Amino acid sequence: MSTPVSSIKNLGPAYETACTRAGIHSAEELRALGADAAYGKLLQSGSKPHFIGYYVLVMALQGRPWNDCKGEEKKVLRKRFDALKAQNFDSDRSALDAILNEIGVIERRTD
């Protein structure tokens, strides 16, 4: 049985919609992917990078309140977020291009 992404505390309908667009259809899939792989898929599917959205996901998957991220932990997560953004987000590519790339209609840019 699969449960909706929005069943995870702190992840609401908007996060669930973004996950669906990224091909993540259940809370179980999201947990299995983990925060970094899932956030990478969100960026590749056209979601705009947002540090708070990233650490909310990390905290949610750990079963912690979204605002529990502080100090050194937040600094470490910021570095992970910056790396994910660099690897998975092309600010010159439109959301439509990202979706077309995901389904294999256009080639991935290498520049």
Tens-digit pLDDT profile for residues 74-111: 999 999 999 999 888 766 655 666 666 667 665 555 54
**Does 108 fall in a domain?**
no
Q: What is the CATH number of the domain that holds 65?
A: 1.10.150.20
Quickly state the pLDDT bin for 46 (edges 50, 70, 90).
confident
Give the H or E element holding residue 20. Answer: helix 13-21
Task: Give the total number of structural domains in the chain.
Answer: 1
> Which residues 6+ apart lie within 8 Å of 50 measured at CB?
none
How many other C-beta atoms lie within 10 A of the C-beta of residue 83?
A: 12
**Does 28 fall in a domain?**
yes
In angstroms, the CA 39 to CA 47 distance is 9
More confident residue, 110 or 60: 60
- Provide the residue range defining the domain that includes 80: 5-102
pTM: 0.79
**Does 48 fall in a domain?**
yes
**Does 46 fall in a domain?**
yes
Compute the mean pLDDT over every residue in the chain, rounded to the nearest whole number: 88
- For residue 20 the two structure tokens come to 């669906």
